[in-house]
Structure 1
Amino acid sequence: MKHSIRVQVKQLKSPTENRVLRFIGSTETEDRDRDVIRATGWQLENYKKNPVFLWAHDYTVPPIGRALDVRVENKQLVFDIEFPVKGLYPLADTVYELYKGGFMKATSIGFQR
């Protein structure tokens, strides 16, 4: 099951060139498939052991970032994503710049029922 929402992206400070963006990954609003994910249902322990940020749910390519912080706050799944230093991974650079420039405004979370 995939869940997509429009988000506002916020630039955060980091030791790696300020390449950290904050995302709202999920809210308690109905998605395209009419599913609602309750914030109290998030089980993040396993994800936090390897908090990778994948591009388009693609497990066949390296992740484009890592979650420095992931938490439930105000009934929302919030995550701060650190992108690699510029020049290390061109796909990550492109995605970072598209989010930062406002060209991409959504995220998608994957989960199993």
Structure 2
Amino acid sequence: MTKRKPEPTPIETFLAPLARHARKWPEIEGLVFWGGAEGWGNAPSEALEAEEIAFYAEGLLEDGFRMAWALVALADGPDMPDHIRLQFWQDDSPPPEPAPGWFALDKGLWNGD
């Protein structure tokens, strides 16, 4: 009898594209930004290696955080992603879009639903 692979959880489904990007570009960094009552900082709080990105995000989503991620490239280099932007928060303040000169090649949003 062959065991069937369990269905992915909603969090695993949400993180699947993010994990694929990290595997496709193993040298890419994940830059973590936090938002809250004080707003959003301009500098990342930490940088993650590609293989850490999905694992890090999964733990926070399981703890009830909201998340937006974006595969970000410079406007003058649209075929080459620069980093993966990971934004986490708990209130109702959505994260800002990438700064001018940057754009998202792909993105996802988790509101805990």
In proportion to residue count, which structure has more helix? 2
Q: TM-score, normalised by structure 1?
A: 0.29
Q: TM-score, normalised by structure 2?
A: 0.29
